[in-house]
């Protein structure tokens, strides 16, 4: 059976859909809510060129994109396209990029894969699609609007806590194991949060989110956090 890959319409002019078609893949262009490519039910890929990766980290888009990706799909990939040596040419703060990648691997369980160019990207996508669509010899039906599936209150608790900026699944589990309930996390002091998170800045950021009253008028893009606020 022919492999099928869903492609976000913003990737339409990248040249990759045409390469996929030439490889015999059924390409379906859709407006995806999250991700650039959907390879199977619950499996999605966000593609970034090296320059886009650097820009997204410093203009505060990166963690928001990763958070939405991992919230929508069970298995998430970040595909970085291009020569990684260019990162040091683009920015002197290349260590921040390394920190961002380590964070999404450890805290968000994102799989990071690499490609040298667009054709290589297409080949990586096909290999991944083969693995997931034909896993166990059975085709997996693609659901473009994958939603979190909760089997217990525990799953809901984890989903809520890991949705906080720069927390992720690993830290969410640590917080719930330490404080037992979401209410107790909300009532925790900065010092108590720091002991669990291992970072004063991360603890202060979470504490501020938990105690700050909501105000519709306070929304300001200039107040958005980036990776540099956490390292």
pLDDT band at 147 (very low <50, low <70, confident <90, very high): low
In the beta sheet, which residues pair with residue 5? 27
CATH of the domain at 35: 3.40.50.10130
Given a cut of 60, whether residue 231 has pLDDT beyond it is no
Do both 124 and 178 map to the same domain?
no
The reported pLDDT for the residue numbered 148 is 60
pLDDT digits (tens, 9 = 90+) for 77-136: 999 999 999 999 999 888 999 999 999 999 899 999 999 999 999 999 999 999 998 764
Break the chain down into helix, strand, coil percent, rounded to 5: 55, 15, 30
Q: In the numeric block, which tokens belong to residue 179?
A: 């404080």
Domain count for the chain: 2
Separation CA 229–CA 218 (nearest Å): 19
User: Does residue 21 share a domain with residue 114?
Assistant: yes
Q: In what order do the strands lie in the sheet with 4-8?
A: 26-30, 4-8, 37-40, 43-49, 75-81, 111-115
Does 148 fall in a domain? no
In a domain, 144, yes or no: no
Distance separating alpha carbons of residues 50 and 33, to the nearest angstrom:
23
Within a domain: 145: no
Banded pLDDT at 137 (limits 50, 70, 90): very low
Q: Is residue 69 part of a domain?
A: yes
CATH of the domain at 186: 1.10.150.20
For range 163-192, the mean pLDDT = 91
Same domain, 18 and 128: yes
Let me know: does 14 contact 118? Beta carbons within 8 Å.
Answer: yes
129 & 63 share domain? yes
Q: Measure the CA–CA gap between 93 and 54, rounded to whole angstroms.
A: 10
User: Which residue segment(s) compose the domain that 180 sits in?
Assistant: 153-229
Same domain, 122 and 179: no
Are residue 157 and residue 185 in the same domain, yes or no? yes
Identify whether residues 165 and 102 lie together within a single domain.
no
Give me the pLDDT at residue 72, please: 86
Question: How confident is the model over 132-145, as a mean pLDDT?
Answer: 57
Contact 79, 116 (CB under 8 A): no
pTM as predicted: 0.61
């Amino acid at each position: 059976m022919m492999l099928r890959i869903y492609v976000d319409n913003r990737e339409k002019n990248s040249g990759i859909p045409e390469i996929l078609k030439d490889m015999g893949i059924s390409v379906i262009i859709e407006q995806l809510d999250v991700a650039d490519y959907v390879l199977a039910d619950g499996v999605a890929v966000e593609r970034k060129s090296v320059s886009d990766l650097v820009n997204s980290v410093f203009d505060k888009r990166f963690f928001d994109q990763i958070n939405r990706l991992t919230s929508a799909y069970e298995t998430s990939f970040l595909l970085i396209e291009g020569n990684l040596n260019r990162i040091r040419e683009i920015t002197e703060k290349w260590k921040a990029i390394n920190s961002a990648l380590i964070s999404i691997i450890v805290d968000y369980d994102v799989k990071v894969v690499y490609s040298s160019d667009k054709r290589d990207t297409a080949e990586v996508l096909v290999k991944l699609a083969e693995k997931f669509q034909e896993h166990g010899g059975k085709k997996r039906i693609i659901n473009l609007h994958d939603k979190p599936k909760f089997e217990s209150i525990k799953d809901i608790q984890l989903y809520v806590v890991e949705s906080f900026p720069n927390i992720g699944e690993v830290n969410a589990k640590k917080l719930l194991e330490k404080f037992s309930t979401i209410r107790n996390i909300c009532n925790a002091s900065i010092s108590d949060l720091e002991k669990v998170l291992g970072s004063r800045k991360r603890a202060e950021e979470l504490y501020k989110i938990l105690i700050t009253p909501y105000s519709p008028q306070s929304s300001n893009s200039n107040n958005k956090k980036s990776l540099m606020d956490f390292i």
